[in-house]
């Protein structure tokens, strides 16, 4: 049996699906497996529980985020928009 060298995380896919799709899968899976910084306690202990659900193993803070990472560009943009709108209409900020 030929022992195959594992080239990258998506090496299991072989030549299928196209290069760009494989690169996107690699990027998503990299964010999925590494630990992320907790927005509550600051420790690097956030792991994914389920799609979009993230939990800090240090302080047990559970929050929603993007599917493959705790935050996404769109999520950050929406957060900014909500903050600016709250400031404009003089409502208490949602982050407090
Ligand atoms: Zn935490």
**Domains, the chain, ordered by start:** 34-88 (2.20.25.30)
Distance 28 CA to ligand 1 centre (A): 22
Q: How far is the CA of 39 from the centre of ligand 1 (A)?
A: 7
- pLDDT at residue 46 is higher than 60: yes
The pLDDT value given to residue 63: 94
CA of residue 70 to ligand 1 center, whole Å = 12
What is the Cα–Cα distance from 58 to 88, expressed in whole angstroms? 36
Average pLDDT across the chain, whole number? 86
Distance CA 82, CA 92 (A): 11
CA distance 54 to 10: 23
Query: pLDDT band for position 34 (50/70/90)?
Result: confident
Residue 26 CA, ligand 1 centroid: distance in Å? 26
pLDDT tens digit sequence for 50-95: 999 999 999 999 999 999 889 888 988 998 999 898 888 876 666 5
Do the Cβ atoms of 37 and 46 come closer than 8 Å? Answer: yes
């Amino acid at each position: 049996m030929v022992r195959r060298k594992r080239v990258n995380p998506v090496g299991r896919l072989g030549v299928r699906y196209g290069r760009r799709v494989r690169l996107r899968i690699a990027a998503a899976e990299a964010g999925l497996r590494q630990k992320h910084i907790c927005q509550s306690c600051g420790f690097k202990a956030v792991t994914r529980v389920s799609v979009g659900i993230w939990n800090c193993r240090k302080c047990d803070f559970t929050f929603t985020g993007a599917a493959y990472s705790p935050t996404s560009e769109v999520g950050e943009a929406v957060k900014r928009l909500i903050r600016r709108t709250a400031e404009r209409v003089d409502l208490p900020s949602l982050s407090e």
